[in-house]
Amino acid sequence: LSNSLEGEGLDIRDQNDVIDAATFIASKDEHPAWLLKNLLPSSSLTICAGHANRSGKTWLALYQAFSIVTGRSLLENFPPEGKKKNVLYISEEGERSELRHRLLAIALENNIEKEELKSSFFIAHRTGFKLKNLRWKNWLFKQVDLFRPSLIIVDTFSRSFHGKQNDAEEIEAAI
C-alpha cells in the first residue's frame, strides 16, 4: 500500500500518526480564541449555510453581530469572549426596511440602545459587493482599515460571488 501511495505523490506518514479514539479525545489541544465561545472562532473563515429562503441564516448572523458588538450573551450557551468588538455586516439581499426591522427587533428584545451600536456595528446594504472583483476587494480592505472589524459578515455568499460555487479554485480565489 505504501509503495502505491508514494507513487501518487501522497505524503506518507509514520504509523505513530494514527492513534485510537480514546487517546485522541484525551489529548490536549491549544484552545482557540473565540468571538463567541464554542461557536464562532476568531481569525478564521466560517460559513453558515442553509436553504435559500427563511432558514434563519440572517437572523443568526445578526444575533452573532449584536453579541460581539455589545459584549452581551444573546445566543444561549455562546457568550462573547473578551471585550466588545467591531462588526462589518455586508448585506446583499432583502429590502433596507426588512434589515432595519430585524435590527430594531433584536435591539428592542434585548434592551440595546442605539448608542451601543454607534462606532462598532457597521452596515453596507445592497452595495453590489462582489468577492471576486478587485475593486470590491480594495473597497473591503479600506473598510477594514477604517473600522477594524473583528467579524465581517457577507450576507449572502451567493449574491456576492459570481462563479461556480462547487469549483474549489474559484472559491479560493474569491476568499
- Which residue carries 451600536 as its cell? 117
What is the four-CA torsion angle of 159, 165, 169, 171, rounded to 10 degrees?
Answer: 40
pLDDT tens digits for range 72-93: 999 888 999 989 999 999 998 8
How would residue 3 be classed by pLDDT, with cut points 50, 70 and 90?
very low
Which range, of 61-65, 107-111, 161-165, averages the lowest pLDDT? 161-165
In sequence order, what DSSP letters do the residues of 106-171 get, joined into one string?
A: HHHHTT--HHHHTTTEEEEES----TT-HHHHHHHHHHHHHH--SEEEEE-HHHH--S-TT-HHHH
pLDDT over threshold 60, residue 5: no
In the predicted model, is pLDDT for residue 69 greater than 50? Answer: yes
* pLDDT above 50 (res 28): yes
* Size (the chain), residues: 175
